[in-house]
Amino acid sequence: MNEKSRLRIQLSATRRGARLARLLAERQLDEWGMPFEEATQVVAELAANAVLHGRVGGRDFRLELLRRDDGTLRVEVTDARGERSPRPPEESAELAEGGRGLRIVAAYAHQWGVVEAPAGAKTVWAELKRPFLAGMGSAETDRGADRTVPGPLQC
């Protein structure tokens, strides 16, 4: 994996940090030449959840973006509250007060999930494939897609 295909940054677990996560993701995806509207929405939702539900005083959250060789984009947000795992939105909860962010993530992502991270933390990840990648050149997106569900990126 090429370092130019990865962004990893630690941000303050504040509303400002969540906004910055979205802006940095948009800039990085633009630099990679990838469409970014759906991806930055996923980043915004996962970062907002990390700030609202995963915040522990004095601890930051981490954003990681990985562009794989097959063109898949993997978004990971790690926060300090491993005991507070998000649950997939229920169909019957469409009008509920909360849970809309995960509905957005589920709508844009090909797959998403949660894994334990070191020091009692958790990583919420999402992978975006086609049609997200429809704007990319066919040579980059026509290779076979990895069908495995990988864990968090390793340091």
Q: Is 155 contained in some domain?
A: no
Give the pLDDT score at 43. 97
Sheet holding 121-128, edge to edge: 6-11, 61-67, 73-79, 121-128, 111-117
Q: Is 148 contained in some domain?
A: no
Instruction: Please tell me the distance from the alpha carbon of residue 27 to that of residue 48, in angstroms, as a whole number.
Output: 18
Q: Is 101 contained in some domain?
A: yes
CATH number of the domain where residue 137 is located = 3.30.565.10
Give the pLDDT score at 146. 34
Give the pLDDT score at 138. 37
Q: Is 54 contained in some domain?
A: yes
Q: Is 125 contained in some domain?
A: yes
Q: Is 68 contained in some domain?
A: yes
Give the pLDDT score at 150. 44
Q: How many domains does the chain have?
A: 1
Give the pLDDT score at 85. 75
Give the pLDDT score at 101. 82
Q: Please give the average pLDDT of every successive group of 10 residues along the chain, which has 155 residues.
A: 81 96 95 89 95 85 94 94 72 57 90 91 90 44 35 44
Give the pLDDT score at 148. 36
Q: Is 128 contained in some domain?
A: yes
Q: Is 153 contained in some domain?
A: no
For 2, the token pair is 């090429």
Instruction: Please tell me the distance from the alpha carbon of residue 1 to that of residue 4, in angstroms, as a whole number.
Output: 9
CB-count burial class (<10 Å; 0-12, 13-18, 19+) for 58: exposed
Find the domain containing 113 and state its range.
3-141
